[in-house]
Structure 1
């Protein structure tokens, strides 16, 4: 069941216009590698984390509105966009470390994290590794909830993916793929909702270095059977962390049923479904997306983290464990949930 919208508390918010120069890419060198990011506005900090193969440009149209009331930081993850693309560790945990280090160089101690797709997994991992620096979580079509994922991504995780991605950029092949995309949209399929957006991700891989980084990132989270990283086994740790889940009900990459599973597994979380939207609900309805983010950050207090509370949560364990909390009222993971989680990485 989708939670009813919460009423915005009565207070005056000073709106600040954002200049075009603030939306331009900026750079920091961290651990010897270039980290690109966009930064605009002032006020409470929002960190926008994009998905696999994407970049901070995916948030560009939303940043001016969000930056009227927040300091917005949108990084290009390592291996993506204008950031460096070394032969490096592209695991979810490494990305969480990279976000922490960039925020540290910018003098940011804590923030609300907004993560899309892979970025949702990175946001969850950041909250797990650095709870004292996480004020809230907003997960958008996030990975790491179930094994299911679009078969195309499973295919690209297999050997030979470099050749496949290179072939997709050939003029003749590009034309055929474009025709297939238009047909999927005409037939009103869920994949047709997302195909144009996914095709732009291929266009963002112009050379072998970019493709190598993309495939390394993908293989860290997806194999031929589906997603290989899970957050289900530690969702209970979000107790006391204001969390909102945003999902399109026609998501062809990460099915909307994952949203309901995550909502049940995360104590006190709020779920908002975008009807008719695919994997990029913030593109389908940017106005509603911005309104929800502003209302959520304005109506919830930052997480009040304490070492003692964290220790108690870890000692009490997951409600689905034999040693878990009896009668907690939280959903116990099903046998299928636990079996799949045990087969996947839990970094």
Structure 2
């Protein structure tokens, strides 16, 4: 009788756990964003985005790798008072569709172009972080007349890698590796993004752990890996000289991810920033000391001030 009782007890527990997450997609497992999100369609893709504020100028925010539109919450909270602020979940991320495509900067550039046309956005200042920065560079070089100014925050794409290192990175970084990341490693990975990790990062970490059981988690892991391969293969280095817009580049003084300390141990973040100075025509380079790679989340006040000064400057 006791055996039957225990079997029934554990069956109920398993049924309860399963019923909480019965193969739900990521969009249903992620915690609520700081602002209400909307959805638009681009061909057969659903694109989730946040829109706050109603200013004359539009700030269009593009998130980085393994992230989503909520990464800009601390910036939108303040900047929406003066501008129309829009942040989208790129395909493969957040609450947007996760198609089986090559996630290259050129692909994201085309998505941004379609998104801007669909929402009929005007007076745009494009703001990209990390991977989103590289996508923004590709966008500006491909569609030079669609934005007024460009802001790159800890952008990928300036730092270069040898062919040997590219092959090595690809051989190591696989979908299986991403999919099987332990909870402990997830926490360590997030910590690398900050000099001093804000307490709100707990929400991001919890979300990353929660989506492991999502029905589209495999597709998300593929998107992450394909995005890394895309950044390596679809270089924007030669596109930098084609940027005609006034450009603000912001780095954290304590960035642990750019440059890659393993593959480029002899260069510094300031060296990477100087590439922007050398290659982009109308550029201003700023460093926020005591900030890591996720500059806009760790030091939002300082970042918001720089953004506002740059956007308002005639």
Q: Deviations over 1:163-188 (max 9, x none)?
A: 2223224xxxx24665x679xx7xxx
Q: Deviations over 1:197-232 (max 9, x none)?
A: 69848547522121122112222113xxxxx44333
Alpha carbons of structure 1 residues 27 and 154: separation in structure 2 relative to 1, 3 Å: farther
1:158 counterpart = 2:160: no
Report if the CA contact (8 A) 1:52-1:117 is conserved. Answer: yes
Correspondence for 1:268 among 275, 282, 300: 282
Question: What displacement does 1:29 show?
Answer: 1.2
Q: Is the deviation greater in 119-128 or in 154-163?
A: 154-163
Q: SS where residue 134 of structure 2 aligns?
A: helix
Matched residue, 1:314: none
Report if the CA contact (8 A) 1:29-1:35 is conserved. Answer: yes
Report if the CA contact (8 A) 1:146-1:230 is conserved. Answer: no
Cα-Cα RMSD: 3.2
1:92 counterpart = 2:97: no
Between Structure 1 and Structure 2, how many residues are aligned? 262
Unaligned runs of 5+ in 2: 1-31, 260-268
- Between the aligned partners of 1:139 and 1:61, the Cα distance in structure 2 is 17
Question: What displacement does 1:238 show?
Answer: 2.2
Q: Which runs of 4+ in 1 moved over 4 A?
A: 153-156, 194-199
1:218 counterpart = 2:228: yes
1:141 counterpart = 2:151: no
Correspondences of 1:242-257 after superposition (within 5 Å): 242-255=246-259, 256=269, 257=271
Alpha carbons of structure 1 residues 101 and 208: separation in structure 2 relative to 1, 3 Å: same
Report if the CA contact (8 A) 2:194-2:298 is conserved. Answer: no
Q: Deviations over 1:92-149 (max 9, x none)?
A: 1111111111121111144110000011111111111111111000000001112259
Alpha carbons of structure 1 residues 127 and 204: separation in structure 2 relative to 1, 3 Å: farther
Alpha carbons of structure 1 residues 194 and 69: separation in structure 2 relative to 1, 3 Å: same
Correspondences of 1:99-138 after superposition (within 5 Å): 99-138=112-151
Matched residue, 1:27: 39
Matched residue, 2:241: 236
Report if the CA contact (8 A) 1:93-1:122 is conserved. Answer: yes
Alpha carbons of structure 1 residues 120 and 175: separation in structure 2 relative to 1, 3 Å: closer
Matched residue, 1:287: 301
Question: What displacement does 1:87 show?
Answer: 0.5
Matched residue, 2:3: none
- Between the aligned partners of 1:98 and 1:154, the Cα distance in structure 2 is 27
Question: What displacement does 1:195 show?
Answer: 8.5
- TM-score, with length taken from structure 2: 0.74
- Between the aligned partners of 1:192 and 1:247, the Cα distance in structure 2 is 12
